[in-house]
Amino acid sequence: MLERKYSKILIYFFLSIVVGLRAQLGPPPWQYDESQFIYLSSGVKYIILEQGKGPLPKLGEILKIHYIGMLSNGKVFDNSFERGTPLQFKLGAAEVIPGWEEVFKYLPIGSKAVIHVPPEFGYGDEGVPPTIPPKSTLIFFIEVLSKQMPFQPYTHDTKKRIKKESGLEYAIIEQGNGTAITPSSKVSLHYNARLSNGVILGNTFDKGEPLVVIMGKNQLFKGWEEGLSYLKQGDKATLIIPPHLGPDVGTNIPKEESIIIDLEILSVEPYEQFKPYKYEHLPFQESPSGVPFYLVEKGNGPLPKIGEFVKMHYHGVIRNKNGERFFDSTFERGKPATLLLGNSEALRAWDEILPLVPKGSKIVMTLTPEKISQEKNLPPIIGTDSILIFYIYLLE
């Protein structure tokens, strides 16, 4: 009897150690036992390494996750842990690969899991060259952080709208008590923009990454910038922007449509202005596809490689028949961008040019209307009748 009692104590002791280790998984990628895979009928398979205590996600909800994406040979092609920015997506809205849509409904909030996705539920026969070869099985290490309901457009009494002389209308949904927005403020905000016919133009609420804009830089179209000028930190508001105050010619937005923007003003701060590099006197070089760039200052670091994460600051300027205007700047936001080269997650031109210059370099690159039309990730505000100039500092 005594031996049995001590045997049970030892068993409980070792079980507690094992459970404790499973509950304290270190940073990914994690070790796992392939015999523990759960197979779905699609061929997607998964192991929950650490069971979350939250509920299961439902279709239509917004999930926030961290992940590492890896090929079957162990090569990492994406890593949100390293970027420090989780991914948010709407489950069931085809915003992610089909394999993720299949498996996330089985992962409670708080879970850590390994997922294997066959090619037909990943990137198929084509892949995403050169980062993901054709017919690749993908391995993901996942941490499911949280979930939320998708953003619902604000509602308000139309009688309480404020109409300005320009034709802009706005309504305060919830009054803030922070700093007022001035012509030189740096503003962080969430927005949901849609046409009067209901077509969605953009939504940062569900993506989790606020928009940061610099007032007075023509970063936004007229009606949007005017609307912000009446608001302050903490405000929630709806702007109703008539067609004549909408984006410039060159966007895909119908001229006759009003734009409705729901906003939440997160912060209002002064900003430090970026000083553009002098480059006109320098000889230009070209990327393989013919995008010109100027090496303003050569860094001492190694050349970045395709498939490698790089950190960079950039300042973007639009030049067209109406003059030159600023549209985005990580310098002025104060937060560098991190991207995976060759993953087509930013600009094709960046994937071509950045591997040609050492880390620590400062460069200027220009995109003609022809090259802009070949880019998939530029916002509509750029237009196809413009030249785009980027001032870039490739961090070491």
pLDDT confidence of residue 339: 83
Of the candidates 77, 230, 274, 309, the residue annotated as catalytic is 77
Decide: helix, strand or coil at residue 23: helix
Does residue 178 sit within a domain? yes
Does residue 6 sit within a domain? no
pLDDT confidence of residue 344: 66
The reported pTM is 0.69
Of the candidates 140, 191, 221, 271, the residue annotated as catalytic is 140
Q: Left (φ > 0), alpha (ψ -120 to 50) or beta: where does 229 sit?
A: alpha
**Among this protein's residues, is 77 annotated catalytic?**
yes
pLDDT confidence of residue 226: 97
Please report, for the domain that includes residue 217, its CATH number.
3.10.50.40
Does residue 124 sit within a domain? yes
| Cα–Cα distance measured from residue 331 to residue 381, given in angstroms and rounded to the nearest whole number | 20
User: Which strand (E) or helix (H) includes residue 386?
Assistant: none
Same domain, 254 and 348: no
Tokens of 211: 């928009």
Same domain, 210 and 119: no
Does residue 15 sit within a domain? no
| Cα–Cα distance measured from residue 39 to residue 53, given in angstroms and rounded to the nearest whole number | 22
**Among this protein's residues, is 142 annotated catalytic?**
no
Of the candidates 46, 62, 65, 67, the residue annotated as catalytic is 67
All residue ranges of the chain with pLDDT < 70 are 1-25, 249-252, 343-345, 379-381, 383
In the chain, the amino acid numbered 34 is: E
Of the candidates 78, 235, 248, 351, the residue annotated as catalytic is 78
How many other C-beta atoms are found inside a 10 Å radius of the C-beta of residue 51?
Answer: 14
pLDDT confidence of residue 251: 61
pLDDT confidence of residue 386: 86
In the chain, the amino acid numbered 115 is: I
pLDDT confidence of residue 265: 98
Same domain, 356 and 380: yes
Decide: helix, strand or coil at residue 268: strand
**Alpha carbons within 13 A on the beta-carbon side of 102:** 19
Q: Which residue has the tokens 């990914």?
A: 28
Of the candidates 104, 123, 205, 221, the residue annotated as catalytic is 123
Same domain, 182 and 220: yes
Does residue 5 sit within a domain? no
Same domain, 113 and 211: no
pLDDT confidence of residue 377: 72
Containing domain of residue 139, as a range? 30-148
Out of 116, 148, 180, a domain closes at 148
**Among this protein's residues, is 328 annotated catalytic?**
no
Cα angle 342, 347, 351; round to 5: 35
